[in-house]
C-alpha cells in the first residue's frame, strides 16, 4: 500500500525522507520485518521498540514510525509521532481497509462473565442465521478456524487483521471480549463497535491500574469514548448491568442510548421468576413489558445474570425472541466455566476459571445451594499479578468451603510459597496437618497447603466422599502452567480426570 494511503487520519509531528513510497508490510516486532516494511517503534511494558530500529532496518524495513528522537540513514523515511502505539491502530485500520465498518461488532466489557456472554451471544446469533466470529480469553474462532489467544483482546494491528480475515470469511457478526488493558493501551480505539455490554467490576488487575477507580475509568472509557467514535447508528448501544454498583455509575455518568438488565435491581430486562439447579436454569424474563421464558444447561445465579446480558445484547440488535430462546438453550457448556469433569457415581468435580474473590465466591455460593456433603476447593493465585486480591481469595475460598487446599496457580517469577503466604493472610479457619493420603475423613474441616498443584488436585479427589463436591478454581480452560518464564503443559481437567480414573481403578494417589 502507498504510504500516503496508510497515513490517512495521521498527522505526523515530523517527516524525514520521502513522504511517499510502497509499503510492503507493517510490523511492530522487528523480527517480522521484510524488505520494504514499515516498522512501528512502540515503548512497551517490558521493552522499548526504539531499541530495535537497527534490527528492523537490517531486515529490510524502509519506513520507521517513532516517538523518540531519531535521525534515519539515507534512503529511509521516518515519521515522528506523539504516540506510536496509538498510531499502530490507525495504520492497521487503513492497511486492512477498515474491516469493522462492514461487520456488526459487539464488545463485552467487565471483570467477570465476559467469556460466558460471548459464548451465549455466539449461540444466539448462530440460531438467528448469522455467521459469527469470536475473540476472547479461550481462543479466537471464525471461518471454521480456532486460534490460540495470546491476549484476551489482540494488539490493535492484530485486531484489524483478524477482523479483516473474519470479513473475508463471510463473518457478519463478531463478538469480542475487551479487556481493561486493551482499553488503556488503545487497542480497540479504531474499531467501529455497534454495541457494548458491561457485566460488572470487581477487584482484579490492580497491579496494572493501581486503584479501583483507575480500573473503572478504563472500562468506562469504552462507553464514553470508543463506542461513540465508531459512528454506527443503533437504537440501543449500551447494555449495562444495573445490579452492579459500577454499572449504575455508567448509567449515571455516560450519555447515550442504553438498555439495562438486572435480577435484583429493576431494569429494562428483568427476571420475573427463575429456578436454579446444578442441571441448569429456568427463567421467565420481561423485556419492556414482553414476557418470555428461557432455559439453559448453565448453572447458578451469576449465569442467569450472564444470560440476561446476552439476551439484552441480542435483542438490542433486533434478534427475534424465538431465536434468542433457541440460542440460550443450545449452549451446553463453556470451557473451564463450572465445567464438570466427573461422571455419574463419582464425587462431583468441577473446574472453573474463577480467579478473583468475587468470581470464586459466586461459584461457591452456587455449589452450596445443591450440596449434600462437603465442598472441597483447590485454588491459588497467579504470580506477578495483583497481590491485593490474594488474601481476599483466601477469605472467599475458606469462607464458603468446608475444606480448602491452597496451591500454586501460575507462579511465574514469584516464589510459590510467598504467594501462598499472602493468601493465608486472609484465612480465618484452622490450618490442618498434611493430609495427602486419601483418608476420606468426613469430619476434615479447615485448610491445607499443598504447593504442587497436581498433588493438590489428587489430594482433593482422594479426600472426597461420594456426596462431596470438589471445585478446582483459577485456571479453567488453560492447558498450561507458567513457572518462572517457562510455560509447561498442565490442564486441571486432564489431571482431575486422570485422578478420578485412578480412584475408580483403586490405584493409590500421591
Separation CA 509–CA 437 (nearest Å): 7
φ/ψ (deg, to 5) at 184: -65, -35
Of the candidates 474, 434, 438, the one whose C-alpha atom is nearest the C-alpha of residue 459 is 438
Which pLDDT belongs to residue 235?
62
b/e sequence 447-466, b meaning 16+ C-beta within 10 Å: bbbbbebbbbbbbbbbbbee
Question: Sheet harboring 195-198: ordered strands across?
Answer: 145-147, 140-142, 132-135, 173-177, 104-109, 195-198, 238-241, 258-262, 269-277, 280-287, 290-296
φ/ψ (deg, to 5) at 274: -160, 155
Separation CA 304–CA 302 (nearest Å): 5
Which pLDDT belongs to residue 280?
94
Q: pTM (2 decimals)?
A: 0.90
- Determine the Cα angle at 171 with ends 170 and 174, to 5°: 170
Which pLDDT belongs to residue 503?
84
Q: What does each of the 510 residues of the chain score in pLDDT, given as a tens digit?
A: 999 999 999 999 999 999 999 999 999 999 999 999 999 999 987 899 999 999 999 999 999 999 999 999 999 999 999 999 999 999 999 999 999 999 999 999 999 999 999 999 999 999 999 999 999 999 999 999 999 998 889 999 999 999 999 999 999 999 999 999 999 999 999 999 999 999 999 988 888 889 999 999 999 999 999 999 887 876 678 999 999 999 999 999 999 999 999 999 989 999 999 999 988 999 999 998 899 999 999 999 999 999 999 999 999 999 999 999 999 999 999 999 999 999 988 999 999 999 999 999 999 999 999 899 999 999 999 999 999 999 999 999 999 999 999 999 999 999 999 999 999 999 999 999 865 544 455 568 899 999 999 999 999 999 999 999 999 999 999 999 999 999 999 999 999 999 999 987 754 443
Pairing of strands 290-296, 280-287: antiparallel
Which pLDDT belongs to residue 181?
93
Residue found under cell 439484552: 312
In terms of DSSP H, where are the helices of 146-192? Answer: 156-168, 180-184
Separation CA 107–CA 174 (nearest Å): 9
Pairing of strands 238-241, 258-262: parallel
How is residue 499 written as a grid cell? 485422578
Secondary structure of residue 284 in the 3-state scheme = strand
Separation CA 243–CA 202 (nearest Å): 13
How is residue 393 written as a grid cell? 481469595
How is residue 466 written as a grid cell? 461420594
Separation CA 318–CA 29 (nearest Å): 41
**Burial environment of residue 264 by CB neighbours within 10 A (0 to 12, 13 to 18, 19 or more):** exposed
b/e sequence 279-292, b meaning 16+ C-beta within 10 Å: ebbebebbbeeeee
Of the candidates 35, 81, 31, 75, the one whose C-alpha atom is nearest the C-alpha of residue 53 is 31
User: What count of other Cβ atoms lies within 10 Å of the Cβ of residue 52?
Assistant: 21
Of the candidates 312, 85, 39, 84, the one whose C-alpha atom is nearest the C-alpha of residue 183 is 85
Which pLDDT belongs to residue 507?
46
Amino acid at each position: 500500500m502507498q504510504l500516503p494511503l496508510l497515513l490517512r487520519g495521521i498527522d505526523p509531528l515530523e517527516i524525514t525522507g520521502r513522504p511517499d513510497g510502497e509499503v510492503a508490510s507493517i510490523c511492530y516486532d522487528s523480527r517480522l520485518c521484510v524488505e520494504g516494511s514499515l516498522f512501528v517503534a512502540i515503548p512497551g511494558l517490558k521493552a522499548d521498540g526504539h531499541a530495535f530500529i537497527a534490527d528492523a532496518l537490517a531486515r529490510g524495513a524502509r519506513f520507521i514510525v517513532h516517538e523518540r528522537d531519531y535521525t534515519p540513514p539515507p534512503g529511509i523515511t521516518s515519521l515522528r509521532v506523539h504516540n506510536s502505539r496509538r498510531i499502530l491502530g490507525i495504520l492497521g485500520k487503513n492497511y486492512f481497509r477498515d474491516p469493522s465498518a462492514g461487520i456488526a461488532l459487539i464488545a463485552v466489557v467487565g471483570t467477570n462473565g465476559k467469556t460466558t456472554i460471548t459464548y451465549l451471544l455466539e449461540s444466539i446469533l448462530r440460531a438467528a442465521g448469522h455467521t459469527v466470529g469470536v475473540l476472547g480469553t479461550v481462543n479466537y474462532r471464525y471461518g471454521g478456524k480456532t486460534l490460540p489467544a495470546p491476549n484476551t483482546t489482540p494488539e490493535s494491528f492484530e485486531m484489524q487483521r483478524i477482523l479483516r480475515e473474519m470479513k473475508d470469511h463471510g463473518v457478519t457478526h463478531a463478538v469480542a471480549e475487551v479487556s481493561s488493558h486493551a482499553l488503556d493501551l488503545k487497542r480497540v480505539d479504531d474499531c467501529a463497535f455497534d454495541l457494548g455490554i458491561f457485566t460488572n467490576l470487581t477487584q482484579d488487575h490492580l497491579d496494572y491500574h493501581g486503584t479501583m477507580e483507575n480500573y473503572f475509568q478504563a472500562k468506562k472509557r469504552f462507553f464514553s469514548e470508543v463506542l461513540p467514535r465508531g459512528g454506527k447508528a443503533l437504537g440501543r448501544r449500551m447494555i449495562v448491568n444495573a445490579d452492579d454498583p459500577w454499572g449504575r455509575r455508567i448509567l449515571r455518568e455516560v450519555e447515550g442510548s442504553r438498555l439495562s438488565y438486572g435480577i435484583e435491581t429493576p431494569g429494562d430486562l428483568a427476571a420475573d421468576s427463575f429456578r436454579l439447579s446444578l442441571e441448569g436454569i429456568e427463567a421467565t424474563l420481561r423485556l419492556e413489558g414482553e414476557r418470555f421464558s428461557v432455559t439453559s444447561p448453565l448453572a447458578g445465579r451469576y449465569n442467569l445474570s450472564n444470560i440476561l446480558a446476552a439476551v439484552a445484547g441480542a435483542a438490542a440488535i433486533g434478534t427475534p425472541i424465538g431465536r434468542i430462546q433457541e440460542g440460550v438453550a443450545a449452549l451446553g457448556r463453556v470451557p473451564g466455566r463450572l465445567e464438570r469433569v466427573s461422571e455419574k457415581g463419582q464425587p462431583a468435580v468441577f473446574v472453573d476459571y474463577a480467579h478473583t474473590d468475587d468470581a470464586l465466591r459466586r461459584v461457591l455460593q452456587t455449589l452450596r445451594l445443591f450440596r449434600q456433603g462437603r465442598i472441597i476447593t483447590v485454588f491459588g493465585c497467579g504470580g506477578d499479578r495483583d497481590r491485593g486480591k490474594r488474601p481476599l481469595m483466601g477469605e472467599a475460598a475458606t469462607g464458603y468451603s468446608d475444606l480448602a487446599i491452597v496451591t500454586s496457580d501460575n507462579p511465574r517469577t514469584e516464589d510459590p510459597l510467598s504467594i501462598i503466604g499472602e493468601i493465608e493472610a486472609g484465612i480465618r479457619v484452622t490450618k490442618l496437618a498434611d493430609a495427602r493420603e486419601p483418608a476420606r475423613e468426613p469430619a476434615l474441616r479447615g485448610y491445607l497447603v499443598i504447593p504442587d498443584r497436581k498433588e493438590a488436585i489428587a489430594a482433593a479427589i482422594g479426600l472426597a466422599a461420594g456426596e462431596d463436591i470438589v471445585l478446582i478454581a483459577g485456571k479453567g480452560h488453560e492447558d498450561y502452567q507458567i513457572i518462572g518464564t517457562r510455560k509447561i503443559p498442565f490442564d486441571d481437567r486432564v489431571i482431575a480426570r486422570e485422578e478420578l480414573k485412578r480412584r475408580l481403578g483403586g490405584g493409590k494417589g500421591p
